């Protein structure tokens, strides 16, 4: 697989990464551990060098899974993880709130190093902006960790342009992770221009719209109670029906390219900027191979124009998050 550089920081990874959250958290029951380890091994075999996790996924179990799976490839892959939540001190699944106090960041780093079985965290994101802690203090804490050799690169997730600039002035930000796809295009307004100006890479999560842009979801789809989609406005039956027109567009282009609907969605993202690295997640080997195949699909200028013109006429129905979840973003 081709490699891409995330901005000007020197961080080079595979053009597509693998989001690991859904293997153990967020999309229904956790998948079989042995199967997920095998899946990650297959990803490495097919050229994937960039893996995404976080302490909050589980919590903790996803980092442990990724650490165990990728231990044989130490030094050959890049693992990104995140800090920024206050978790239940009794080990329960509750999120008590945000916490990006410097002392907490350093405590999380030590724990993540152990769970990931590594000597240094490749990319350490602030998971959500904490309004109670100046972003300069957050960047300073990660700068300390970098100087101590415990972290290589600093990242932000779902941060706004002003926050990105303030953090970058203290410790260069290597990558921003935020949701971006053909049905979530808000980053195009201020975020992408800011990243381009500052030389920061962009890592879109949910690049397939939490599965919707694969074409596998319709108004008959049912979601488990512990599947985050069960409570999202964009996954009501009415919104799914209304937004099907976007899937139809991707399918039509895919038929012209002998590519799947998902592959066109990912190829479109890859075509936006050379420093964009999507991290689609999956628990299925055939979907992994399908997603990786998108890196070899080149959309022509006329095809990109066709998608742009058609997509611009589509009004996406339903908010991507609940109001409470949206308040936790800095966008």
Catalytic site residues?
A: 57
Burial class of residue 134, CB neighbours in 10 A (0-12, 13-18, 19+)? middle
Tokens, residue 249: 């567009």
Place of tokens 């550089």: 5
Residue 84 CA to residue 178 CA, distance in Å, equals: 15
Beta-sheet strands, E only, within the chain: 3-5, 12-14, 18-19, 50-52, 78-83, 85-87, 95-98, 121-126, 151-157, 173-179, 201-205
Place of tokens 């999309």: 27
Rg over CA atoms, the chain = 19
Of residues 212, 214, 188, the one with CA closest to residue 202: 188
Cβ contacts of residue 323 below 8 Å, gap of 6+? none
Q: How far is CA 94 from CA 59, 89, 252, in A?
A: 9, 9, 43
Residue 211 CA to residue 5 CA, distance in Å, equals: 26
CA atoms within 13 A on the CB side of 290: 19
């Amino acid at each position: 697989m081709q490699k891409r550089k995330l901005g000007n920081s020197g961080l080079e990874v595979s053009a597509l990464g693998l989001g690991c959250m859904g293997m153990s958290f967020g999309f229904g029951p956790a998948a079989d551990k042995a199967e997920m380890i095998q899946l990650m091994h297959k990803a490495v075999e097919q050229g994937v060098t960039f893996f995404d996790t976080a302490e909050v996924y589980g919590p903790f179990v996803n980092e442990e899974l990724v650490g165990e799976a990728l231990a044989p490839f130490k030094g050959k892959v890049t693992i990104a993880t995140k800090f920024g939540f206050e978790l239940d001190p009794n080990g329960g699944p509750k999120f008590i709130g945000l916490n990006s106090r410097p002392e907490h960041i350093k405590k999380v780093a030590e724990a993540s190093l152990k769970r990931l079985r590594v000597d240094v965290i490749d990319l350490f994101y602030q998971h959500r902006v904490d309004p109670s802690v100046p972003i300069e203090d957050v960047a300073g804490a990660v700068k300390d960790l970098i100087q101590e050799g415990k972290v290589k690169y600093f990242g932000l997730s779902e941060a706004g342009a002003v926050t990105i600039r303030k953090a970058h002035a203290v410790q260069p930000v290597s990558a921003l992770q935020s949701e971006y796809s053909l049905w979530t295009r808000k980053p195009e307004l201020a975020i992408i221009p800011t990243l381009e100006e500052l030389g920061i890479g962009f890592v879109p999560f949910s690049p397939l719209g939490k599965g919707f842009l694969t074409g596998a979801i319709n108004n008959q789809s049912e979601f488990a109670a512990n599947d985050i989609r069960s409570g999202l406005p964009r996954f009501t039956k009415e919104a799914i029906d209304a937004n099907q027109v976007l899937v139809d567009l991707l399918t039509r282009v895919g038929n012209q390219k002998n590519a799947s609907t998902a592959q066109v969605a990912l190829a479109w993202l890859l075509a936006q900027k050379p420093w964009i690295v999507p991290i689609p997640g999956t628990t299925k080997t055939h979907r992994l191979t399908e997603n990786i195949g998108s890196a070899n699909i080149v959309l022509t200028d006329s095809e990109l124009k066709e998608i742009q013109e058609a997509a611009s006429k589509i009004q996406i129905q339903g908010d991507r998050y609940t109001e409470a979840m949206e308040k936790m973003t800095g966008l």
